[in-house]
């Protein structure tokens, strides 16, 4: 769920840092635990890394020393089993030639036991060696590797993690999401295929392919992770979420006075639900925009405290009304319980919860961190049991088939919903 962003300029007098800076901001939603940016130019390395947001680390006292014609950057979403002693990416390695530096940034998790240094060493070898290595490197990942004369972008052989390439003038840009390329005024050229290895140098870029396994991008990108203005493998995230809401009503109809979206990730599905149902849509819950994404905070206490100051109701829209509240997902249940409390305190008559994804029932996802199944509110519970637990008058989820339909009927990675998992033995 982290984000990576890299830029290679074919002209050595162009500083790519301004493009990277904008790209990092565009991907900040993917990780708020730590960030890093590293640039290379004429044997010189310049970098800034640290805990927290981009704005916590890149400031007036260091921004002027960040320069290079090739650079990588990273925003980190931590997993509970990550090594907490490791510095933020990109990491710097010295692959062999005296003084030569290589950068690597990774979004994802590996099933094979492999270290980033080993990956960096392989990416400095022949293309045949790289193809063989990636063909058998199991996991959900995208990788950026850079030296002064080239940049390499890799999408895992299952295509679980997204990666897209574009350009702006003499700069070739690779990003986890298309929104970060477009935010720079760049043009999106190509969504990397499963197992695709792209080598970028001063002459442009060329694609090679590892052995594709079973193309299955992560469906949770469409539900929650990706920004709504991104395109994932040719599918508009905004359009998919709108269709989720429409299908959600088709599968779980209800009569009510208004439809409300849970800010921010439930808003688009709520619009779709209102459109399909003919029920009036209201922005009746306001989100404090200075609070980050609750789900990706690392501890339960932090998430609960964050929810209390994150959301506030507009009571005149709610008092005495039967309300449909649409949210993108229920994982632990903290957020939805708090929102229901807010609605009840505002004088709502009935609360109908509609969720634009199936119940999250499995842990061990390679794309977001749910370490223990007992933390999942839907694990080993029926929908009726969850309804009683959260205090709603009714509860309905989109089916997995309905979610697939909304997202373009591709073959997706769906382990958290009990669906397709290419690694299941």
Distance CA 287, CA 260 (A): 13
Binding residue per annotation — 322? no
Distance CA 37, CA 303 (A): 28
CA 357 from centroid of its chain's CA atoms: 16
3-state SS, residue 354: strand
Distance CA 249, CA 37 (A): 44
Evaluate the CA torsion angle 157, 159, 161, 167 in order and state its sign. Answer: positive
Written as six digits, the tokens of 354 are 């509609």
Distance CA 43, CA 65 (A): 15
Say if CB 394 and CB 352 are below 8 A apart.
yes
Say if CB 233 and CB 240 are below 8 A apart.
no
- Strands 187-191 and 196-201 come out as unpaired
Evaluate the CA torsion angle 123, 218, 78, 80 in order and state its sign. Answer: negative
How far is the first Cα of the chain from the last one, in angstroms, to the nearest whole number?
Answer: 24
Residue labelled with tokens 């960030």: 35
- Please list the helix, strand and coil fractions of the chain in percent, rounded to the nearest 5, in that order: 30, 30, 45
CA 7 from centroid of its chain's CA atoms: 20
Distance CA 262, CA 242 (A): 14
388's CB contacts (< 8 A; 6+ apart) are none
Say if CB 410 and CB 233 are below 8 A apart.
yes
375's CB contacts (< 8 A; 6+ apart) are 300, 332, 363
Binding residue per annotation — 328? yes
Q: How many residues are given for the chain?
A: 425
Q: What is the DSSP letter of 222?
A: I
Residue stretches of the annotated binding site for Mg(2+): 265, 327-328
Residue stretches of the annotated binding site: 265, 327-328
């Amino acid at each position: 769920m982290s984000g990576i962003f890299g830029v290679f300029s074919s002209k050595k007098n162009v500083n790519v840092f301004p493009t990277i800076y904008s790209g990092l901001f565009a991907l900040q939603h993917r990780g708020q635990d730590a960030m890093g940016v590293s640039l290379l130019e004429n044997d010189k390395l310049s970098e800034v890394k640290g805990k927290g947001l981009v704005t916590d680390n890149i400031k007036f006292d260091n921004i002027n020393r960040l320069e290079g014609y090739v650079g990588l950057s990273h925003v980190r979403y931590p997993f509970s089993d990550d090594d907490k002693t490791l510095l933020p990416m990109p990491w710097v390695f010295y692959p062999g030639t005296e003084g030569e530096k290589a950068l690597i940034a990774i979004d994802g998790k590996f099933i094979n036991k492999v270290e980033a240094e080993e990956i960096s060493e392989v990416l400095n070898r022949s293309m045949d060696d790289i193809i063989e290595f990636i063909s058998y490197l199991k996991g959900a990942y995208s990788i950026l590797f850079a030296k002064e004369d080239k940049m390499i972008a890799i999408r895992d052989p299952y295509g679980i993690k997204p990666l897209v390439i574009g350009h702006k003038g003499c700069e070739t840009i690779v990003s986890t999401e298309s929104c970060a390329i477009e935010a720079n005024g760049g043009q999106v050229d190509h969504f990397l295929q499963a197992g695709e290895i792209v080598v970028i140098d001063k002459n442009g870029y060329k694609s090679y392919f590892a052995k594709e396994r079973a193309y299955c991008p992560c469906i949770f990108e469409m539900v929650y992770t990706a920004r709504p203005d991104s395109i994932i493998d040719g599918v508009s995230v905004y359009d998919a979420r709108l269709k989720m809401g429409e299908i959600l009503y088709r599968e779980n109809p209800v009569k009510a006075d208004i439809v409300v979206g849970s800010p921010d990730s439930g808003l688009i599905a709520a619009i779709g639900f209102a459109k399909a149902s003919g029920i009036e849509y209201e922005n009746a819950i306001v989100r404090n925009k200075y609070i980050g994404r609750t789900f990706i905070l690392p501890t339960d206490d932090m998430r609960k405290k964050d929810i209390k100051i994150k959301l506030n109701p507009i009571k005149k829209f709610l008092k005495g009304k039967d309300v449909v509240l649409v949210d993108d997902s229920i994982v632990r249940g903290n957020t939805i319980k708090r929102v229901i409390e807010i609605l009840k305190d505002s004088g709502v008559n009935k609360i109908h919860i509609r969720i634009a994804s199936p119940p999250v029932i499995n842990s061990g996802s390679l794309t977001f961190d749910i370490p223990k199944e007992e933390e999942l509110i839907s694990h080993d519970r029926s929908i009726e049991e969850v309804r009683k637990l959260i205090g709603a008058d009714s509860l309905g989820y989109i089916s997995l088939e309905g979610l697939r339909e909304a997202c373009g009927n591709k073959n997706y990675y769906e382990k958290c919903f009990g669906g397709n998992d290419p690694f299941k033995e």
